[in-house]
Amino acid sequence: MYSLQLLFKASTGTLLLVLCLQLGTSKAQEDTPRRAIIMNVQVPQKARANDEVTVRLNLQTELRECLVCKSYLRSNVTVDGPFNYAFTSCLCATDPKNLYWDFRPNKSMPIVAVVDVIREQNICPDDEAVIPIKANRYYYSTFLVVQ
């Protein structure tokens, strides 16, 4: 009888330990904040003058809701043409975006890829896009050396 009581106590303790570990794991998963914007920018570091350069911006989100994003490039060096194009799109977790800019630089320049989360109607299909509370502008800066 005594050995049965020890077995019952051990199994209750084990169940309690498993329950605590399970609750702790669930809490840890909830505390991990979801990232509103994940940017991956690909820019060549070197180029020849007047050769075509491609900047690729991959956008993703970990939010359950969609976001309306306006993406564009900036520099203190004037570049005409596609460098100045701004893309407005609906970004959802299930639909990452790839954006491309092709341009011909004639001298070395800093390049900043900027993504603004904006409030604009008729971009996302269900018009239930959200705006993050903490930040609505994300950017990545690099430098392109032209030889």
Neighbours of 94 (CB within 10 A): 6
What is the β-pairing status of strands 67-74 and 109-117? Answer: antiparallel
Q: What b-and-e string marks burial along 69-84, b requiring 16 or more CB atoms within 10 Å of the CB?
A: bbbbbebeeebeeebe
- 36-77 confidence digits (pLDDT tens): 999 999 999 999 999 999 999 999 999 999 999 999 999 999
Cα 78 to Cα 38, 41, 54, 107: the distances in Å are 27, 20, 17, 10
Q: Any idea what the Cα angle at residue 105 is, between residues 45 and 97, rounded to 5°?
A: 65
Q: Rounded distance, CA 26 to CA 5, Å?
A: 32
Band of pLDDT at residue 121, cut at 50, 70 and 90? confident
* pLDDT over threshold 60, residue 84: yes
Domain segments of the chain: what residues?
A: 1-32, 38-146
Report the pLDDT value the prediction gives residue 1, as an integer from 0 to 100.
Answer: 55
Instruction: Quote the pTM value.
Output: 0.76
| pLDDT (average), residues 20-28 | 56
CATH H-level superfamily of 38-146:
Immunoglobulins (2.60.40.10)
The residue written with tokens 């954006």 in the block is: 99
63, with CB counted inside 10 A (0-12, 13-18, 19+), is: middle
Q: Are 64 and 93 in contact (CB under 8 A)?
A: yes
Window from 14-18, 45-49, 92-96, 130-134 with minimum mean pLDDT: 14-18
